[in-house]
Chains A and B, each alone.
Chain A
Amino acid sequence: MKEEFEPNILGFLCNWCSYAGADLAGTSRIKYPPNIKSIRVMCSGRVDTVFILEALRKGADGVLIAGCHPGDCHYQSGNYKTNRRIKLLKNFLKDMGVEPERVRFEYVSASEGQKFAAVVTDFVNELKKIGPSPIKE
C-alpha cells in the first residue's frame, strides 16, 4: 500500500493571540495532526513574505500565518498589514503556478484552542487533496 501523503506545514503564530491559542489547545488536550510546526513571532506583522517563500522553497507544503482577530492585535494593526501582504503574495504565487491555497491566514484568539486545532486539521486535509508542493528544492 502506498503511504498516505503527509503534508508538511510551517506555522507563524503571534505571541499574544494565536500562539496562546495553540498553547491552550495543548493544555486542554485537544488533539490535532502533528504536521504543523510553529514558530513564534511577537506579532503576525513581523511575518515577512520572504519567510513564507523560504518555507515553501525548503519543503513546506503549506504555510499557516495566524494572528489576533481584527481590532485585537496587541500592536493595533499588525494583523491587517500582514493579511494585506499575504493577499498580494497569493496573487504572485498563482502567477508562479503555485496553488495560493498553500498559504493561509487565520484569526485565532488566545481562547480559541478549539479553533486552532480545527484550522490545522482542515488545512492538513486540504493540502492532502492538493498534494505535495511543486516548488520544493
Chain B
Amino acid sequence: MSKKIGVFVCHCGINIASNVDIEELIKYSSNLNNVIVSKDYKYMCSDNGANLIKDTIKKYKLDGIVIACCSPRMHENTFRGYVENAGINAFNLEIANIREQCSWAHDDKKRSTEKAKSLVRGAVAKARLLESLEKSTISVNPNALVIGGGISGIQTSLDLAEKGFKVYLVERTPSIGGRMAQLDKTFPTLDCSGCILTPKMMEVANNQNIELITYSEIENVDGNIGNYKVKIRKKPRYVDLDKCTGCGDCVVACRLKDRISNEFDMGLGKRSAIYIPFPQAIPMKCTVDENNCLMIKHGKCGKGPLCIEACEADAIDFSQKEEFLEIEVGVIVVATGYDLLDPSKVYEFGYSRYKNVITSMEMERLISSSGPTSGEILCPSNNKIPNSITYILCVGSRDETSCTWCCRIGCMSALKQIYLIKEKFGNKVEINISYTDIRSFGKGYEEFYRKIRGENTNFFRGKPSDVRNIQDRLKLDIFDTTTNKLFEINTDLVVLVPELIPRMDSDVFSRILHISQSSDGFYLEAHPKLRPMDTFTAGIFLAGCCQGPKDIQDSVSQASGAAGRAANILSKKELEAEPQVAIVDVENCSGCSMCISICPFNAIDLVEEKGKKQAKVIEALCKGCGACVGACPSGSMQQLGFKDKQMIPMVEETVY
C-alpha cells in the first residue's frame, strides 16, 4: 500500500524563512509523489504547530510525515511525540534539516532554497518506505555511579542518596574533598571552606545509601542507559581499612617523616611515606605512598618498617595487591574536576626559576591556618614576611597562544586572597594586581570587588613583562592601559593565577565513557543552554568543572541538577529502548559470520536452525550502529529505520 505523506515546513521565526523561500519549498514538495499535503508554520515545535501536525495527519489520514525544520538532534523526539499524539507510529517520521545545515550555513537564498528542496526530496523518498517500529523495554538498575569525590561529586551523591538510590562514589585519591578541601576561605562570603565542606564529607561517610570507594580508578565501562557494567581498579593502600583507626601513630613513626613533598600543600610542606592527606580526610585512614615507601621500592626499610612497629591495630599489610571490582548501575555522573595549568609553561613569569614566584593555590595553602606555615605568609626563599605582593591574573588564560577561555574564578579568588592578606597585615604590605579585565559576575561578587578596589590596592590593567630577580627582590614592568603609563614594580612575592584546564587524562577517559569533548578538551554537554548536565550518551551526566571552569556555587548547582537528571531515569522501572537495531533476513543469510567479527558489542550469535547456519542479533546488546549492515556481503543484515531499501532511494533522490 502506498504511503500518504504530509510535508511540514517550519519558518523558525525568520531563522529559516529569511534564507529559504518557504512558499517555493511548499509548492515544490506538494508535487512530489505520495505527498498529499504540504503545510508551513512559523514555529512547528510550538503548541499550535503540534495541533497543526495532529489535525493534518487526522484529516488526510497520513501515514508518512516529513518535517523540514531544525536538526533532528534538536527536536526529533519532540516531533515524534507530536506524530504519536495523532495516533500514528512515531517512526514514520523523517526530518529534513533545513536550519543548521542549510539556512544558517549558507548565504545565497536561491541556492539555499534549492538545497532545501533536495533535502526534502530525499526525506520524502525515505518516508515512502518507513515502517512502524515498536519500542522494546529495558529494565533499569536503580543504582548510580558518581565518579570523583570533590564538592560536585559529593553533592550529587548526597542528593541521589537522599532520593533513596544506592550510590557508588569512586574517588581516585585516598580521600574525598577535592580542591575545595585545599582552600582556606571561599568568595564572596568568606566562609571557611573546610567548615562548610567537612560536614558534607561526614554525611557521605555516614550515609547508608553511599558506598565510598576511594583510591580507585574506573577501568572500563560497558552497557547502556539503565544497565552499565563498570570495572573498578582498587589500588593497594597497604593498609587494612577495617583495622586502621586513623590514629596517625605510623605517620609519626615513619623513617621518611617530613621528607616527602606533600601534594595537599602544593609541595610547600612535607609528609611521611605513610600518610593521611589532611586532618579532615574521609575516610580517616592511612595510605602508603608506593612511589616513596622504602619497603615497597626496595623491599626493606632499615631493620624493619617503623610503621608496622608503631601500629597497634596491626593494620599495615605490605602484601596487598590491586583488586578489581565489578558493579552494575543504571546511570553515571562524571564529576572529575579540573587540572591547573602548569605556570612554568608561561616561561616569562619565572615560576620554574624563582622560589618567590608561586601560584594562587600555593598562596591558599600559605594563608590556611592548617597549612605548612600554620597560616603565616612567608616568602619561600627566606621565610621572611613580604613587604610587597604582586598578583598576575590570567596566567595562560584568554590567550590565543595557550588557552582561549576564561577560568571564571581567577579574579575573584585573587581578590579574596588579597582581602585575607590585608586582614593579616593591614596596609603594611603593598599589593599590586595585574589584570586583563576583572570579571565579578556572580551574586555579591561585584560588591566584593569594590570593597577591595577601595582598599589601597594598586590595580594595573595590562599584561606584565617578564619577571626578573634583582638583589633578592623580583622586578617586573606593567604597562597600564587605563593610564597609558609604564609602571616599574619591585616586589617580594609574585602570585600567579593559572588557568583551569581539562584533566590530563580526559581524552582517555572520554573514550572509556564514550562521551565527547568540546574543542577546549572539557566534556561536552548535550546542549549548552537546555541540557547542560547531560552528555550525548544517554544515562551519563556531568557535574562541576569537568564540563568547564566553575566556581563552587555553580558546581554545586550543577551537581544537584545532575542528580535530578539522573534520578529521572533511576526512578523508572523500565525505559523504552531505541528500536533501530539490526535484524537478519534469515532466508538470505549464508552464515558467513562477517557481521560477527564486525560487531563491537558481541551482539550477534551464529546459530543453527534447520541444519542451516545463520546470524542472530541479540537485541538487548545491539546498540544500533549499523556497522554489520554496511559490511554484510549478501545484504541480509539490515538496520531498522536505516534499511538499504530506505537509504538507497534517499541517496538517489537527495543527490540527483
In the complex, are the beta carbons of B73 and A46 less than 8 A apart? no
From B631, B648, B651, contact of A81 by CB (8 A): B631
In the complex, are the beta carbons of B101 and A48 less than 8 A apart? no
In the complex, are the beta carbons of B105 and A31 less than 8 A apart? yes
Known: A23-B101, A34-B105, A58-B651. A111 touches B642 (CB 8 A): no
B624 to chain A, nearest CB (A): 6
In the complex, are the beta carbons of A31 and B106 less than 8 A apart? yes
Query: Which B residues are in CB contact (< 8 Å) with A112?
Result: 519
Spot the interface stretch: B112-120, B265-273, B320-328, B482-490.
B112-120
From B74, B115, B623, B642, contact of A41 by CB (8 A): B642
Compute how far the CA of A81 lies from the CA of B518 in the bound complex, rounded to whole angstroms: 25
Binary per-residue interface labels of chain B (624-655) against chain A in the complex, 1 for a CB within 8 Å, 0 otherwise: 11110111000000010010100110111011
Nearest B-chain residue to A112, judged by Cβ: B519
Compute how far the CA of A76 lies from the CA of B639 in the bound complex, rounded to whole angstroms: 18
Interface size on A, residues (CB 8 A): 52
Interface centre among A20, A40, A46, A54 (most CB of B within 10 A): A46
In the complex, are the beta carbons of A37 and B104 less than 8 A apart? no
B380-433 contacts to A (CB < 8 Å): none
Query: Which A residues are in CB contact (< 8 Å) with B108?
Result: 34
Does B197 count as interface, using CB distance less than 8 angstroms?
no
B25 to chain A, nearest CB (A): 14
Query: Which A residues are in CB contact (< 8 Å) with B656?
Result: 58-59
Known: A23-B101, A34-B114. A50 touches B648 (CB 8 A): yes
From A19, A25, A59, A71, contact of B511 by CB (8 A): A71
Query: Which B residues are in CB contact (< 8 Å) with A41?
Result: 626, 642, 647
In the complex, are the beta carbons of B516 and A17 less than 8 A apart? yes
Query: Which B residues are in CB contact (< 8 Å) with A17?
Result: 516
A53 to chain B, nearest CB (A): 10
A95-122 contacts to B (CB < 8 Å): 109-112, 117
Compute how far the CA of A136 lies from the CA of B72 in the bound complex, rounded to whole angstroms: 31
In the complex, are the beta carbons of B100 and A23 less than 8 A apart? yes
Compute how far the CA of A49 lies from the CA of B112 in the bound complex, rounded to whole angstroms: 28
Interface centre among B107, B111, B112, B652 (most CB of A within 10 A): B652
In the complex, are the beta carbons of B516 and A16 less than 8 A apart? yes
Does A42 count as interface, using CB distance less than 8 angstroms?
yes
Compute how far the CA of A46 lies from the CA of B628 in the bound complex, rounded to whole angstroms: 7
B529-572 contacts to A (CB < 8 Å): 536-537
A26 to chain B, nearest CB (A): 3
A-B contact pairs, 6 of them (CB 8 A): A22-B105, A41-B642, A48-B629, A48-B647, A54-B651, A71-B511
By Cβ-Cβ distance, the 9 closest A-B pairs, closest first, are A46-B626, A45-B627, A26-B100, A75-B625, A26-B104, A43-B625, A76-B600, A111-B519, A23-B100
Interface residue ranges, B against A (CB under 8 Å): 71-74, 97, 99-102, 104-108, 111-112, 114-115, 118-119, 122, 510-511, 514, 516-519, 524, 536-537, 580, 598, 600-601, 623-627, 629-631, 639, 642, 644, 647-648, 650-652, 654-656
